[in-house]
Amino acid sequence: MSLPLGALSMDVSELLSRGVAEVIVESELRTRLQSGTPLRLKQGFDPTKPDMHIGHAVGLRKLRAFQELGHQVVLIVGDWTAQIGDPSGRDETRTRLSAAEVRANAETYMEQFFRVVDRQRTEVRWQSEWFGQFTLEHALDLAGRFTLAQMLSHETFRKRYETGAPLTILELMYPMLQAYDSVAIKADVEFGGTDQKFNILAGRELMAQLGMTPQQVFLVPLIPGTDGRKMSKTFNNTVDIRMPPAEMYGRIMSMSDEVLPLYFEVLTDVPMVEVHEMKMAMAAGQVNPRDLKMRLAREIVAQFHDQAAAAAAEAAFVRQFVERELPEDIPNFAIKAPAGIVEVLVAAGLAPSKSEARRLIDGGGVRVDGERVEGYTLTLNPGANVVVQVGRRKFVRVV
């Protein structure tokens, strides 16, 4: 019994196109996939900032898909490159980390990584296995294989150089080390976000120089955050893999309508035909984007938690934001003596300072049992059992 050829090639097509930014060289990778030999898929990470968001999951889902076709993931812990910090897309030099921090971060990272990727089909390698043995001679040899012009063809480096921002030689070493990793583990394909193109290509370059078959480059798109800008911790527009279900659900609901179809494409298995239908329906105003967003939120929460958690998160969302009722879990805040509303807001963590608390009251953002608070004179008594609310999302029950 043989597989229908049509179905198989469809699979590969989708594998190489859906949620993919660029494959270099696509025809070669296609051939190697069809050869039936298991490929070594390199994915590196620097244990610097271990919090992963769903943007990272786009690539992890791809790794998983390859694994399901029988390929082997090689996860590289960049314990050396972490000391430099990836300069890609960076305007400034990063601060360096201690060995202990690196170890702890690596743990945290892997805990998240293996929520998507199959641990059984993953080989974990630390850079120190090879860089720990490196001598100055090796380092000089490596440095001698790349030119300054090559490095400055990288937009990040060039921009920093041209605008006069600081740029250290150490940072120029980063792509070289990453390239050498590919040599060390004999990578067939290296995965990364589009911001990794330069670094991964450096690996191709180096492998070719050393007479090896150059690795294929598999780039996944960097997805926009909930506000449409680049997803990044600094913009606070991420949906983190470790977020509890309700928060994850809420963050997805808060995203801009325009990014919906893309999220469906890269983060769910909803058939592409359906995704296109959604796009059309939205453009034609035939569907409330909110409903699509709810479906997306359910799909994603279920992926990182489970169906039940997703359903519960949805129910809580509907209750709080659609029906505008109080959320179910309102933390209690006990006071021992009568206290003014301003003090309570600060003590309960609803406002960072008394000045801010007063501003919130002035702006009409503070409610006690649903009644808007006017002025700063309101006093709450112990055992009052009232709900103090700031904005639509922060609640505390004062007891």
Partner RNA sequence: GGGUCGGUACCGAAGUGGCCAAACGGGGCGGUCUGUAAAAUCGCUGGCUUACGCCUUCGCAGGUUCGAAUCCUGCCCGGCCCA
Burial 207-230 (b: 16+ CB within 10 A, else e): beeeeeebbbbbbbbbbbbbeeee
The burial of 90, by beta-carbon neighbours within 10 Å (0-12 exposed, 13-18 middle, 19 or more buried), is given as middle
CB under 7 A: which stretch of 71-79, 81-89, 241-249, 302-310 binds RNA? 241-249
Cβ at position 311, least distance to RNA in Å: 15
Tell me, what DSSP letter sits at residue 376? S
Smallest distance, Å, CB 267 to RNA? 17
CA-based torsion, 210, 211, 213, 219: positive or negative: positive
CB of 46 to RNA, least distance (A): 22
Coil/strand/helix, residue 164: coil
At position 75, the amino acid (one-letter code) is L
Among 33, 77, 346, 373, binds RNA (CB under 7 A): 346
Closest distance of CB 240 from RNA, Å: 12
At 299, which helix (H) or strand (E)? helix 289-304
Please say which residue, 97 or 292, places its beta carbon nearer to RNA: 292
Please list, in sequence order, all residues whose beta carbon lies within 8 angstroms of the beta carbon of residue 293, skipping any fewer than 6 positions away.
252, 253, 255, 257, 260
Q: Which of 19, 224, 250, 261 lies at the binding interface for RNA (CB under 7 A)?
A: 250
Query: Which of 58-66, 72-80, 162-170, 181-189 is the region at the interface with RNA (rule: CB under 7 A)?
Result: 162-170
Q: How far is the CB of 321 from RNA (least distance, A)?
A: 3
> Comparing C-alpha atoms, which of 68, 79, 80 is closest to residue 38?
68
Site for RNA contains 360 (CB under 7 A):
yes
Using CB under 7 A, which of the segments 53-61, 101-109, 211-219, 384-392 binds RNA? 384-392
Burial 7-24 (b: 16+ CB within 10 A, else e): eeeeeeeebeebbbeebb
Using the Cα atoms of residue 285, residue 290, residue 291 and residue 294 in order, give the sign of their dihedral: positive
Cβ 394 to RNA, closest distance in Å?
6
Question: If you count them, how many residues does the chain have?
Answer: 399
CB of 109 to RNA, least distance (A): 25
Q: In the complex with RNA, which residue's Cβ is closer, 53 or 293?
A: 293
* 13 lines the binding site for RNA (CB under 7 A): no
Piece of 11-19, 49-57, 115-123, 253-261 that binds RNA (CB under 7 A): 253-261
Q: Are 197 and 225 in contact (CB under 8 A)?
A: no
Residue with Cβ nearer RNA (75 or 239): 239
Does residue 167 bind RNA (CB under 7 A)?
Answer: yes
Q: Which of 59, 214, 261, 365 binds RNA (CB under 7 A)?
A: 365
**Segment 306-345, which members bind RNA (CB under 7 A)?**
317, 320-322, 342
| Distance in Å, CB of 205 to RNA, minimum | 26
The closest alpha carbon to 41, from 74, 65, 68, 12, belongs to: 74
Q: Which segments within 291-381 are labelled E, that is strand?
A: 332-333, 339-340, 366-368, 371-372, 379-380
Report the nearest approach of RNA to the CB of residue 174 (Å).
17
Window 289 to 308, contacts with RNA (CB under 7 A): 289-291, 293
For residue 57, give the nearest of 310, 278, 289, 231 by alpha carbon. 231
For residue 17, state whether it binds RNA (rule: CB under 7 A).
no
Residue owning tokens 């998240």: 112
Q: Taking CB under 7 A as the rule, does residue 363 contact RNA?
A: yes
Counting residues that bind RNA (by CB under 7 A) gives 49
Q: Is 393 in the site for RNA (CB under 7 A)?
A: yes
**Residue whose CB is less far from RNA, 197 or 298:** 298
Q: Where does this chain bind RNA (CB under 7 A)?
A: 161, 164-167, 227, 235-237, 246-247, 249-251, 253-257, 287-291, 293, 317, 320-322, 342, 346, 352-356, 358-360, 363-365, 376-377, 390-394
